[in-house]
Amino acid sequence: MLQSQRLACHAVLKTLEGRNLTRTLNEIWRTNPDLAAQQKGLIQDSSYGVFRHYGTLKAVLDALLKTPPKDRQIEALLLVALYQLQYTQAPDHAIVNHAVEASRHSGKGLVNAVLRNFLRRKDALLEAASGNEVALFNHPQWWIDRLKAQYPEQYREILNAGNSRPPMTLRVNRRRISSADYRALLQENRIECDVLSDHALMLAKPMPVEKLPGFSDGLVSVQDWGAQQAAPLLDLKDGMRVLDACAAPGGKSAHILESAQVDLLSLDNSASRSRQIEENYSRLGLEGDVRVSDAADPKSWWDGVPFQRILADVPCSASGVVRRHPDIKWLRRAEDIAGFSGQQLAILEALWQTLASGGKLLYSTCSVFKEENAGLVEEFMKRHHEAALIDEMPLLPNDQQDGFFYALLQKK
């Protein structure tokens, strides 16, 4: 547990310094190849847990400290230990002892005193923290205020969903197996699931993908239920020319190819992420054209032949998927949203010129902020009178899905 606590502390520290948590954890796995699966699980749970409950933990820590520690590594260690004391089943004495041992010599006394003080005053500290909205909802104040203004009746549910643990949902590869046959395969392996659609199954309990029957053979993919709405909304027909403009890591592209026999071009501006699309295709037995290009610059990739269908799954704040990436809540800034909106509009403008007359473009984000969703679509349609809004589907996060937004536009 000691090594796990130290490495979780490192992950939290790097995130507090502004680095993406997923990238930091991947670097830890790369530089510590001997870590057991259980150790990786502890490190990931502790680091994710800190940022899932950061508002509460920070309020409690501030109440326990007269002044912030000069050494941010001590602050990160205390946050990890407080998370473990409050939200895990590990013995209190083991958590405290390991945290003291993991701290630098000069910080051992402080770490010991703070954690034992927390155990003595826990109920009072948590009650006091609940009077603060940031601590109560575990989101930044600007985020809370924005959701209050945009969803006055639903903001609490959205915030609480963002702090929950996400479900694990599978998309059955209909080109290799039927949903009924795959359910039978799960039952044979004593894996419980709920049926969401003819190709979507939600597991009763998340599990490592390598333990899923047939995963390596391409029978299923892991994809959120909300993300699985994209391919059906595109209204695909065999023989169509289709573009997935911001495709990595390839889940929606693969779903498109599983749904119909189409000529698909998948773009992404990252070479490493584009390789993920190709790896997904290889595992699933699919074929599609994958290119490293900027969707906002069609002259660098478009051959002039229009597409009948376009999926514009644009970069966004990812405010709808924070339960999968809890560090996003604390790394984003209020001013970032305008930047995303500008980028989204530029991509939409560029892609529109590549859409065939009568063709359909599905605009998609994993955001819950209206500036990136309905507000942006409204702005686009003011500029393009030939655009008709066929369907609009805002999906708020709940116990079955993450938060997404879809708008289906047709070029008249």
Active site members: 366
Report the 10 Å Cβ neighbour count for 275: 16
In angstroms, the CA 405 to CA 250 distance is: 18
In angstroms, the CA 356 to CA 310 distance is: 10
Q: Which of 234, 213, 165, 180 is nearest to 406 (CA)?
A: 234
Q: What is the DSSP letter of 142?
A: H
In angstroms, the CA 132 to CA 56 distance is: 9
Q: Which run of H or E residues covers position 117?
A: helix 108-129
Q: How far is CA 157 from CA 36, 160, 196, 314, 322, in A?
A: 36, 5, 21, 25, 14
In angstroms, the CA 155 to CA 161 distance is: 10
Give every CB contact of residue 250 below 8 A, 6+ residues apart in sequence: 266, 276, 277, 278, 279, 280, 281
Phi, psi of 303 (to 5 degrees): -90, 5
C-alpha angle with apex 310: 304 to 311, nearest 5 degrees?
A: 140
Cis peptide before 68 (omega within 30 of 0): no
In angstroms, the CA 312 to CA 247 distance is: 9
Q: What is the DSSP letter of 320?
A: T
Which tokens in the block code for residue 176?
């290799």
Strands (E) located in 319-365: 355-365
Q: Which run of H or E residues covers position 286?
A: none
Counts of helices then strands in the chain (DSSP H, E): 17, 11
- Residue pair 307/264 in contact (Cβ under 8 Å)? The answer is no
Give every CB contact of residue 374 below 8 A, 6+ residues apart in sequence: 392, 394, 405, 407
